[in-house]
Structure 1
């Protein structure tokens, strides 16, 4: 049985859920030299809630996405910070726990890579869709999937210029 293997270019970013996005930004800036690239969701916009968000991201019912920010490390993948509110929110994992918040890998072909994930025993959370706001572009897309043990793996591609690039000389890592 042959298995489809996608072309993975490298780690695009690592998602980290934090209790307060401003405090976490200060920590990563001070500890690791991270720079803020852009906010995908600002707190003042109000939270993202409802069934479409829950389905796309695999969130429990009633969870809300309060803020999302992309940081750039001096060398290497980005750090995407998430601030959520949920009545069922658990304490952060410790090293002996399995999984990560999500790991994103840059791929050339989302559909081919998604087929490979499913063939290997993973599952899609939703369907591939366009990247929003500061990441938008005609061919810029993403899809969340789950590994066989339940961790979230994002497949992402952004071959087109992103709107944030007009406002800052700093760039996120690109293969």
Structure 2
């Protein structure tokens, strides 16, 4: 077997960030909360007395056999520099939404931010609306909405 399982975000405040992803981006609790510690975790992370708490959330649009968004906090964490769209590593999480501008307003109202402008891009048979936003902890989120073009005869 080979399949994608989850993406992890380490949060300053996992409870607030979990609530944001549930309320604004329609992720769902699936009963997979975690309170992890022990020798195995110390060996896995390379951190002495590591302790992680958080939850796995079902991503919107998926059923029982789904990848999750894992939002955890460690007891001891380091600050990082601001996430930028053009830095190495994982750049963003993408969500397809019904209305990019409405969802962006919800993100801003919930304490998130906006990276660039809302844009429309034309494809041969579709039109897309995109924007990069940030969750309340600065992680970048891409919002996208797609419409099929009507063909003129």
Q: Which TM-score tier does this pair reach, normalised by the shorter chain? A: 0.3 to 0.5
Task: Please state which structure has a larger fraction of its residues in helix.
Answer: 1
Q: Which is bigger in relative contact order (C-alpha 8 A, separation at least 6)?
A: 1
- Which has the larger share of strand? 2
Rg: which structure is higher? 2
